[in-house]
Structure 1
């Protein structure tokens, strides 16, 4: 059976990041990332907050991988000369010539 795609909103994504940060402890992290118990806790908490979303572990894992990729890309860009991150507006600042 094919899994339906999750309908992620900015609110769901923000809460997911907060939950992942909360559970980013050695107890829930293995050598290669999150443990099964860690993923289960994250999914359980997210679904307790948003029962209408009915997220699966696979959906949450996919979103975490996507967010990590985006974070690394933005971090790489911001580390370049003449570019910075605006915490208030959550945008990249750059000079006109960039």
Structure 2
């Protein structure tokens, strides 16, 4: 079964992160990840915010996994010497030669 990829906007992504953060410290999330009930609650809350999107559980889980991967990549990048994170602009700060190194990796 092929699932259509959801059309995620920056607003959808921000809301997803907020909902995941809200539920992360609850009984919906354990050591090994989300409970079935927790995952269903996250999808339900996201669809309450954006009913036109009709997100599915698979779409939300896929997006969460991709966001985690991006986060880990950015985090490992900014832990390198000569690289920092600009919280105001939400971009990586570095010299041009370091930028080429980051792209190569």
- Range class of TM-score, shorter chain: over 0.9
Gaps of 5+ in 2: 99-105
Alignment of 1:1-98 (within 5 A): 1-98=1-98
Task: Tell me by how many angstroms 1:26 deviates.
Answer: 4.3
1: distance between equivalents of 2:25 and 2:35?
11
Which has the larger share of helix? 2
Q: Aligned residue pairs: how many?
A: 98
User: What's the Cα RMSD here?
Assistant: 1.0
* 1:6-57 superposed Cα distances (whole Å, 9 cap, x missing partner): 0011110011000000000240112311111110110000000000000000
Q: TM (normalized to structure 1)?
A: 0.95
Q: TM (normalized to structure 2)?
A: 0.89
2: distance between equivalents of 1:2 and 1:70?
24
Gaps of 5+ in 1: none
* 1:59-80 superposed Cα distances (whole Å, 9 cap, x missing partner): 0000000000000000000000
SS at match of 2:51: coil
Runs of 4+ with >2 A deviation: none
